[in-house]
């Protein structure tokens, strides 16, 4: 009796917690490079060398000459105030080497294997696959702490991407089978909060654990610790979670013998799927640009301010609230107004978040953190809602495959565009480049989500009427038009494509 009660009421939250913590650790490994890049660059000697502020007794406002004005090592080391030298000529963690390490090297593998593992998730045992993926990315994170050459780190970033690539498509399918449709937006939001959880935790771990220099290992301890914890989660995933039955609705079961299988290309090439994917790609670009550059940006512009805990609090606390509220609100709205209301939530939340994103780069530290918190509250609603929409638009048997392809496109566009930050930084400045690729991407994505909304079905009542007239051959009515029929459009075949920067994934 007790076992059945626990199974009924505690297993699902426990399963959600395990797959979510695993995703947090994967994203921690993904984003930790942005916080530890300077320390790693000093060890491995990659990226740009510049004159940087290096004083614990002075502030930037007191300096007669700013460090960044020095263009060579001798001028840099000669800058002093009252006999105190306050600049150093050293690696700053930036440069094209860093952008490649953070984005394209990760994305190239992540997006390709995301499709492969998405297809595998529709055919094979998902818990076993997720366990193997968790072991792979955990080992890669742990070994990253042992590297002594730049090329070794690049290879391990690719291995990390290979393991993490399976997390989203595998977990999305599992969660869709564990939880009912009316909870899907909230559940997907909680799971996809792992991106922001890993990103947020990276700030205190990357900054303060590195500064502790435990066992004289510096930044390496961050990677060793994350890798060990990841292996523990892999064991719990494999031993305590069970494969759920793949759920199909009564509509799917009754119509399966009467309907021909829906082509994956017909699903993917719907105008609403294409526009939704492009909008998500642009939004992802904005999030990744900030994720990869935010710690380095604030260190460069405000070197005498320690913003590590502020960034952690804004990301974890405010971002978490936004993620949960976004999923909850979209679940409540969609029950009354249909899937179109989920996309409306996307458009509205991102346009509200855009001014705050701009302010987080424009203002000095205090107001930058205030506007960042405001932006995060609304901006982080997007990820879980997007995938709740995707799984409602496609047939059950193609769900994980579609999520894998969607991530492939989203990460190749959104994950590779951030590499443009570096040449733009060199041409017009670091702050100005983030105006374009961070705040600008938020604004453009909100407009694209708005237009996507008009390609979606209308109210839930319309969809229920369509269900009665022509039951679809899958678990919801979102893939039909307003008459309840499959769109009579023949779509051509086309090849797939590759990758965050930085996904993770903001």
pLDDT of residue 224: 96
DSSP state of 484: S
Name beta bridge partners: 85.
80
- The helix (H) or strand (E) run that includes residue 374 is helix 365-379
Contact residues for 248 (Cβ-Cβ < 8 A; gap 6+): 256, 396, 474, 475
Q: Are 188 and 387 in contact (CB under 8 A)?
A: yes
User: Residue 202 and residue 295: Cα distance in Å, rounded?
Assistant: 10
- The helix (H) or strand (E) run that includes residue 408 is helix 399-416
User: Residue 135 and residue 230: Cα distance in Å, rounded?
Assistant: 7
pLDDT of residue 254: 43
DSSP state of 59: -
DSSP state of 65: S
- The helix (H) or strand (E) run that includes residue 81 is strand 80-81
Is 187 exposed, middle or buried (CB count within 10 Å of its CB: 0-12, 13-18, 19+)?
A: buried
Q: Are 342 and 388 in contact (CB under 8 A)?
A: yes
| Six token digits for residue 290 | 């900030």
Angle at 112 between CA 110 and CA 116, to 5 degrees: 110
**Residue reference for tokens 């953190």:** 369
Angle at 191 between CA 189 and CA 194, to 5 degrees: 105
- The helix (H) or strand (E) run that includes residue 424 is helix 421-428
Q: Are 398 and 362 in contact (CB under 8 A)?
A: no
Angle at 376 between CA 372 and CA 379, to 5 degrees: 130
Residues, the chain, total? 506
User: Residue 279 and residue 342: Cα distance in Å, rounded?
Assistant: 14
User: Residue 380 and residue 321: Cα distance in Å, rounded?
Assistant: 9
User: Residue 17 and residue 22: Cα distance in Å, rounded?
Assistant: 8
User: Residue 503 and residue 110: Cα distance in Å, rounded?
Assistant: 9
pLDDT in tens, the chain (506 residues): 444 555 566 888 899 899 999 999 999 999 899 889 999 999 999 988 989 888 777 888 788 888 888 888 888 988 888 888 888 999 988 888 888 888 888 888 887 887 788 778 777 888 999 999 999 999 999 999 999 999 999 999 999 999 998 888 888 788 878 887 677 667 877 787 777 788 888 888 998 999 888 898 999 999 999 999 999 999 999 998 888 877 653 334 444 444 456 677 888 888 989 999 999 999 999 988 988 888 889 988 888 788 888 888 888 888 777 777 766 766 666 556 667 878 888 899 899 999 999 999 999 999 999 999 999 888 877 876 787 788 778 887 777 678 778 878 888 888 888 889 889 988 998 999 999 999 999 999 999 999 998 888 654 333 343 344 333 333 333 333 444 343 443 333 334 444 433 344 44
pLDDT of residue 133: 94
Task: Report phi then psi at 381, rounded to 5.
Answer: -70, -15
User: Residue 448 and residue 26: Cα distance in Å, rounded?
Assistant: 29
Spell out a b/e string for 138-159, using b for 16 or more CB atoms within 10 Å of the CB, else e. bbbbbbbbebeebeebbbbbbb
DSSP state of 501: -
Instruction: Calculate the alpha carbon distances from 334 to 127, 151, 302, 329, 337 in Å.
Output: 30, 48, 44, 8, 5
**Neighbouring C-beta atoms of residue 100, cutoff 10 Å:** 19
Q: Are 361 and 297 in contact (CB under 8 A)?
A: yes
Angle at 394 between CA 390 and CA 395, to 5 degrees: 145
DSSP 292-308: HHHHHHHHHH-TT---H
pLDDT of residue 232: 95
User: Residue 211 and residue 497: Cα distance in Å, rounded?
Assistant: 40
User: Residue 7 and residue 177: Cα distance in Å, rounded?
Assistant: 15
Question: Within its chain, how far is the Cα of 119 from the centroid?
Answer: 21
- The helix (H) or strand (E) run that includes residue 27 is helix 11-44
DSSP 123-161: TS-HHHHHHHHHHHHHHHHHHHTT--SHHHHHHHHHHHH
pLDDT of residue 476: 39
**Neighbouring C-beta atoms of residue 340, cutoff 10 Å:** 22
User: Residue 289 and residue 103: Cα distance in Å, rounded?
Assistant: 10
Q: Are 285 and 437 in contact (CB under 8 A)?
A: yes
């Amino acid at each position: 009796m007790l076992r059945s009660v626990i199974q009924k009421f505690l297993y699902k939250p426990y399963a959600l917690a395990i797959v979510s913590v695993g995703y947090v650790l994967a994203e921690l490994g993904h984003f930790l490079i942005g916080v530890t890049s300077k320390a790693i660059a000093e060890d491995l000697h990659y990226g740009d060398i510049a004159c940087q502020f290096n004083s614990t007794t002075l502030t930037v406002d007191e300096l007669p000459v700013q460090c960044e004005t020095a263009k060579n090592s001798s001028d840099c080391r000669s800058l002093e105030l009252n006999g105190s030298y306050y600049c150093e000529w050293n690696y700053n963690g930036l440069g094209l080497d860093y952008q490649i390490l953070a984005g394209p090297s990760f994305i190239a593998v992540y997006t390709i294997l995301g499709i492969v593992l998405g297809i595998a998730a529709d055919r094979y045992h998902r818990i076993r696959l997720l366990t193997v993926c968790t072991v792979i990315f955990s080992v890669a994170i742990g070994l990253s702490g042992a590297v002594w050459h730049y090329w070794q780190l690049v290879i391990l970033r690719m291995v990390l991407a290979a393991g993490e690539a399976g997390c989203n498509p595998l977990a999305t399918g599992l969660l869709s089978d564990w939880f009912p449709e009316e909870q899907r937006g909230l559940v997907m939001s909680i799971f996809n909060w792992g991106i922001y959880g890993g990103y947020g935790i990276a700030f205190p771990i990357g900054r303060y654990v590195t500064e502790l220099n435990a066992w004289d290992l510096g930044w390496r301890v961050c990677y060793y610790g994350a890798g060990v914890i990841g292996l523990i989660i892999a064991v719990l995933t494999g031993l305590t979670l069970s494969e759920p039955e793949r759920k199909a609705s009564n509509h799917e079961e009754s119509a399966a013998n009467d309907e021909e299988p829906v082509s994956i290309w017909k699903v993917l090439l719907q105008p609403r799927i294409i526009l939704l994917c492009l909008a998500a790609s642009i939004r992802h670009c904005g999030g990744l640009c900030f994720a990869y550059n935010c710690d380095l940006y604030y260190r460069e512009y405000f070197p005498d301010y320690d913003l590590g805990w502020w960034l952690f609090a804004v990301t974890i606390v405010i971002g978490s609230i936004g993620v949960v509220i976004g999923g909850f609100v979209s679940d409540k709205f969609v029950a009354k107004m249909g899937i179109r209301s989920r996309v409306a939530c996307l458009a509205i939340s991102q346009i509200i978040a855009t001014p705050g994103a701009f302010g987080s780069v424009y203002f000095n530290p205090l107001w930058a953190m205030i506007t960042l918190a405001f932006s995060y509250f609304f901006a982080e609603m997007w990820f879980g809602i997007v995938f709740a929409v995707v799984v409602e638009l496609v047939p059950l048997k193609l769900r994980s495959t579609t999520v894998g392809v969607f991530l492939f496109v989203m990460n190749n566009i959104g994950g590779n565009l951030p590499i443009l930050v570096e040449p733009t930084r060199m041409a017009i400045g670091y702050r100005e480049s983030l105006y374009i690729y961070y705040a600008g991407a938020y604004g453009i994505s909100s407009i694209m989500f708005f237009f996507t909304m008009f390609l979606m079905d209308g109210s839930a009542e319309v969809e229920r009427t369509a269900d009665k007239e022509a039951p679809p051959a899958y678990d919801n009515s979102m893939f039909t038009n307003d008459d309840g029929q499959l769109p009579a459009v023949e779509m051509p075949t086309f090849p797939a494509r590759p990758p965050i920067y930085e996904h993770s994934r903001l």
